[in-house]
Amino acid sequence: MDLYSRKIVGWAMSERIDTALTLDALQMALSNRTEIRKLIFHSFKMEGLYPDIPLTKNQARSIVFDYIEIFYNRQRRHSSLGYLSPWEFEQKGIPA
């Protein structure tokens, strides 16, 4: 998570919580940001995402992608950002 805009800039999925998973998420974050100053690295489990519906890996990945890239980064409003989404906040170019 970029602390400036609260945008999720790197994420990854795996069957294991291991170093490779962390490095995959870090690599995505580094490729999405040219300047790295204040990022939070955090892991979370989505085991209870849809407990009654068996999901394929592709279905699960699609759900996580939609949540992060469509909802969280572009639609979810944050009080710390003046009730803007991370995308809207970055578009306004408000200085840190």
Q: 88 falls in which pLDDT band (50, 70, 90)?
A: very high
Give 3-55 pLDDT, tens digit per residue: 889 999 999 998 888 999 989 998 998 898 877 666 777 766 665 556 667 77
Q: Would the pLDDT of 68 be above 60?
A: yes
Q: What is the pLDDT of residue 33?
A: 83
Residue 27 parent element (H or E): helix 19-32
What is the DSSP-derived secondary structure letter of residue 4?
Answer: T
Q: What is the pLDDT of residue 95?
A: 72
What is the DSSP-derived secondary structure letter of residue 70?
Answer: I
Asked if 49 and 55 count as a contact pair (C-beta separation under 8 A), the reply is yes
Q: What is the pLDDT of residue 74?
A: 97
Q: What is the pLDDT of residue 32?
A: 87
Cα separation of 68 and 37, whole Å? 21
Instruction: State both tokens at 72.
Output: 């969280």
CA dihedral 38, 41, 44, 49 (to 10 degrees): 60
Q: What is the pLDDT of residue 80?
A: 93
Predicted structure pTM score: 0.80
